[in-house]
Structure 1
Amino acid sequence: MSSPLPLRIAGTLAHRWGDLRYRAKIALRLTSPPIMLPYRGWAGADALHLTGRVVEDEKVIHARPTRSRWRNLWRTYRRYETDEIRGAEITWSGFGLSGRATTSREGFFSLSIERTELPDGLGDAPWQPIALRLEGAPGYRFAPIRCGAEIRCVSPDAAFAVVSDIDDTIVETSAQHFLDHVRTVALNSAESRVAFPGIAFLYRALAAGVRGGETNPIFYVSSSPWNLYELFAEFLQRRGLPAGPMFLKDFGLTPTQWLTGSHATHKTAAIETLLRGYPALAFILIGDTGQRDAEIYADIVRRHPGRILSVHLRDVSPKGQRPAVAAAVAAIDAAGVAITTSPTLEGAARTCEEHGLVAPGTGQAMRREIESDRARLAGSAAGVASED
C-alpha cells in the first residue's frame, strides 16, 4: 500500500533539505570529527549480524555522568540532533574473515556473515569480538579510527532466549504518558535512572537458566531511537542487567514514515527476525501493560504455536487493565502459554522456576531482592532529599 500523499511530500522535502544541508556543511567545511558507534551484534543459526552508525562527535557519548537536569537536557538534545555521515568506508575483521561496509544517508552501516563462511566456527564464549576501522568519508579529513564490537553467540546448551521491552519494563519512563515520558527521558542520565526492584536479579537468573553463566541470550526491543543506544547500554551495565543486542528505531521523516513509525510494527518485526534467526530456540517475552506489548505478544503466540514458553507483563495500569490488554492476556492463556501480570514481575520468577527454566529457589530469592532493592532505593532517595 502506497504512503499518503502528504507524507510522501513531507518526506521528500525533508530528504532534499537534508541533502542541501549536508552539501553546504561539506562545502563550507563546517564538519566536526566523526565517531563510530557499533551496536552489539548477534549470531543466528544461519548468519552473524552487526550494525552501527557513524556520526559527528557531539561530545555526549561516554560523557561524565551528571545529575544536573539542565545538562542532561542539553545532552539529550545533542543525542537527537545528530549529524550523520553518509558514504563512510568501514573495514572489519574477525572470525578469520574481513570485509568492507559503507554507511547509508542516515549514517548506518550493517554487515551479515553467513555461518557457512566461518572457517573456525564461533567458539564457546558467549561474546566474540570483531574489529572495526573507519577508513574515511567524503568531505571529512581524519586519521583512521579503530574500535571493537561484540557479537552475542548462543551456546548449544541454551534452553531459550528472552525478548524484553525496556521502557516501563526494566526502567520506569511513563511511556504511556507522553509528557511524563519526555521529562523522564530528557532530564536523566544513565546514572540517575533507576531499575525496577529485583529486575536485575530476575534477568541474570534467566540468562543463567539452570546451567549458569550467560547460557540463555537476552535481547532488548524498544521503540526508542538508536540515538539512545549508548544511554541504554550504560544503564544495563550500571544496574547489573545482562548485556544483550538491542533492536531500536530510526526516527525521522521519510516518504514512508512519520518521524517515529509504528510501535507494534517495529516490535513485531524484531521478534519475527529473532524467531527466524533461532529456529531451534523457544522464547520468553517480557513487557508491560502500558503500551501494546500484550496485544503484540498475543499475536506472536497465535502465529508461532509452540515457540513461546511464557509471557510476563509488568502491570503499570493503576486504574486496571484496558479491555484490549485483558483480552490479549486471555488469548495467551487460552493458547496454553504461561502468562503472568504483576507490578514487580515476581510472578515471572515463580512461574519460570515452576517450569524448570531457572535455578530452584529463584522465586523466593526474587522476593528478597525486591525488598532489598526497595530499601536501598528508599535510602538513596532520603540521601538526595537531605542534600537538597
Structure 2
Amino acid sequence: MVATLEPMESQQFVGTRIDDFITDRVARFLRKRGWREAIIPFTGYGSADHVRVLGRLVLRPVRARSYFGMYAEAFLHQRGWRNFISAPVPRRPVTVKVGDEDLELVTDRSGYIDVTVKGSALEGGWQEVTLSTAEAPDATAPVQVVDSAQQFGLISDIDDTILSTWLPRALLAAWNSFVLTEGNRQAVPGMARMYQKLLAEHPGAPIVYVSTGAWNTMPFLSRFMKRHGFPDGPMLLTDFGPTQTGWFRNGANHKRRALAELARDFPHIKWVLVGDDGQHDPAIYREFAELRPEHVELIAIRRLSSTEQILAHGTATVLRDSADLEWEPSAVTQVSGVDGDDLAPQVWRAIESDQSD
C-alpha cells in the first residue's frame, strides 16, 4: 500500500509553490555534487493496536574521512545555525517495517514521514521499527509502546519549560538559535529531577515533549536532554515555513492538535501537562482540560522571571489575550512555580489529593 496526502498542485498556496520550487532546485544541485539520501529517524509512540512512526528523508554530504574533518564537522554541528540547514527529499517512496508488516508510503513536501500503523502487535516498552528507501541506508526508529493499562502520562513543553532559551525576542532568538554552541544552553533547575521521580513512581508511563520548535533542532534537543538527565520520550515538533494556508505555521494550533491526538491515541491516560507562562501554554492547557477533563490530571506552569518576561514580551507583566480564560471552578488543579524544585512538592500534593478523593 502506498500512502500520500499531497494536495493537488492547483490547490497549493503560493508560498508552498515557491518553497517547493526552491527545494527541488537545491536538491538537484546537491545531488550533482554527490549528496545522498539519509533517513533521520524520530522517536515514535504507540499502544497495543497501533504505532505512530516519525522521521525525515534528507540529502547529506559524504562524511569527511580524515580525523580533522570529522572533528571540524562535529564542532560545527554544535553551532545552532547548522540545525536549520537541511535539504529535504519530498515525495519519495519509503518503506516502513513494523514487526512483520511492510507499509509503502511517500514522504510529504518537506520530506517528513508521519504514519500510524494499525494492528502493529508490538510488545510493550521500547521497540524499534525500520525505515528504508531505494537509496538511503536502513534506519531504525525507536518507538515507545505504552501498555493499555497505563493511566498516567507526562506532556511537557520544551522552550522556557525545561530549556532556558530567552526567546522569542528576534535578535536574542537569532543569537541563541544560530550562534551559541550547545554547551551554552541551560536547563531549568529541578525539571529533570521532577520528571524522573514522576516516571519512577509510574513505571512504563510515557513522557511526550510537545513544542513549537522546529524538527531541525531535534538532534540538538536529544543531546541536550540526555546530557541534563531528562527522560527519553517522543518529541512532537513542527516545521517552519509555508503551509497550505499561509506563510508560517500556527504554533498554538500545533499544540492543540498534538494534545487532541494524544488523547485519541491513549484514551485511558490522564496527563500531567507542564508548560510555562511565556507564551500560551496556560490558555491551551486550560482549554484542553475544559474540553477533555477526563484526560488531564494536573496543569503545572513554570513562571518566567521578570527578566525572561521582558525578553519574551518587552514587559515584565505576563501578557494575557482573549484566549487566556480562567473558568471558575477550574476543571482541573493548576499549580505554578519558578522551576522544577518549586513545582515538584506542589505536583506531589495535587496528585496525592486527587488520588485520595
**TM-score (norm. length: structure 2):** 0.81
Tell me which amino acid in the other structure corresponds to 2:348.
Answer: E
Structure 1 residues 1-388: aligned runs within 5 Å: 8-23=13-28, 29-44=32-47, 46-57=49-60, 71=76, 75-115=79-119, 118=120, 121-124=121-124, 126-136=125-135, 144-209=136-201, 211=202, 213=203, 215-259=204-248, 261-318=249-306, 319-324=316-321, 328=325, 330-331=326-327, 334-356=329-351
What's the CA shift string for 1:71-117, capped at 9, x where partnerless? 468x43343231112343333333232333332332112332113xx
Structure 1 residues 325 and 169, CA, compared in 2 at 3 Å: closer, same or farther?
Answer: farther
Aligned equivalents of 2:72, 2:197: Cα separation in 1: 29
Aligned equivalents of 1:59, 1:219: Cα separation in 2: 33
Tell me which amino acid in the other structure corresponds to 1:352.
Answer: V
Local SS of the residue matching 1:145: coil
> 1:66 touches 1:72 (CA, 8 Å); kept in 2?
yes
> 1:170 touches 1:199 (CA, 8 Å); kept in 2?
yes
> 1:43 touches 1:151 (CA, 8 Å); kept in 2?
yes
> 2:49 touches 2:118 (CA, 8 Å); kept in 1?
yes
Aligned equivalents of 2:242, 2:299: Cα separation in 1: 34
| Equivalent position of 1:361 in the other structure | none
The structural deviation recorded for 1:53 is 0.7
Aligned equivalents of 1:194, 1:21: Cα separation in 2: 35
CA RMSD, 1 decimal: 3.0
Tell me which amino acid in the other structure corresponds to 2:333.
Answer: A
What's the CA shift string for 1:107-162, capped at 9, x where partnerless? 112332113xx4xx3324x21111233322xxxxxxx5022111111134533111
Aligned equivalents of 2:144, 2:87: Cα separation in 1: 29
| Equivalent position of 1:140 in the other structure | none
Unpaired stretches in structure 2, ≥5 consecutive residues: 1-11, 64-69, 307-315
What's the CA shift string for 1:154-210, capped at 9, x where partnerless? 13453311111000000100224232222222233444322111111111112222x
> 1:72 touches 1:188 (CA, 8 Å); kept in 2?
no
> 1:203 touches 1:241 (CA, 8 Å); kept in 2?
yes
> 1:90 touches 1:133 (CA, 8 Å); kept in 2?
yes
Structure 1 residues 30 and 87, CA, compared in 2 at 3 Å: closer, same or farther?
Answer: farther
Aligned equivalents of 2:329, 2:229: Cα separation in 1: 35
The structural deviation recorded for 1:267 is 0.8
Local SS of the residue matching 1:40: strand
Local SS of the residue matching 1:334: coil
Tell me which amino acid in the other structure corresponds to 1:234.
Answer: R
The structural deviation recorded for 1:67 is 11
The structural deviation recorded for 1:51 is 1.4
Aligned equivalents of 2:274, 2:146: Cα separation in 1: 20
Structure 1 residues 326 and 94, CA, compared in 2 at 3 Å: closer, same or farther?
Answer: closer
Aligned equivalents of 1:195, 1:327: Cα separation in 2: 27
> 1:67 touches 1:188 (CA, 8 Å); kept in 2?
no
Aligned equivalents of 2:291, 2:284: Cα separation in 1: 11
Aligned equivalents of 1:47, 1:252: Cα separation in 2: 30
Local SS of the residue matching 1:311: strand
Tell me which amino acid in the other structure corresponds to 2:225.
Answer: L
> 2:297 touches 2:351 (CA, 8 Å); kept in 1?
no
Local SS of the residue matching 2:293: coil
**TM-score (norm. length: structure 1):** 0.75
Tell me which amino acid in the other structure corresponds to 1:47.
Answer: H
Aligned equivalents of 1:185, 1:325: Cα separation in 2: 30
> 1:65 touches 1:189 (CA, 8 Å); kept in 2?
no
The structural deviation recorded for 1:65 is 9.5
The structural deviation recorded for 1:303 is 1.2
> 1:219 touches 1:246 (CA, 8 Å); kept in 2?
yes
Local SS of the residue matching 2:133: strand
The structural deviation recorded for 1:216 is 1.4
Aligned equivalents of 1:67, 1:130: Cα separation in 2: 27
> 1:313 touches 1:345 (CA, 8 Å); kept in 2?
no
Aligned length: 327
Q: Percent identity?
A: 25
> 1:133 touches 1:147 (CA, 8 Å); kept in 2?
yes
The structural deviation recorded for 1:326 is 11
Aligned equivalents of 1:54, 1:327: Cα separation in 2: 38
Local SS of the residue matching 2:138: strand
Aligned equivalents of 1:109, 1:302: Cα separation in 2: 32
Structure 1 residues 191 and 155, CA, compared in 2 at 3 Å: closer, same or farther?
Answer: farther
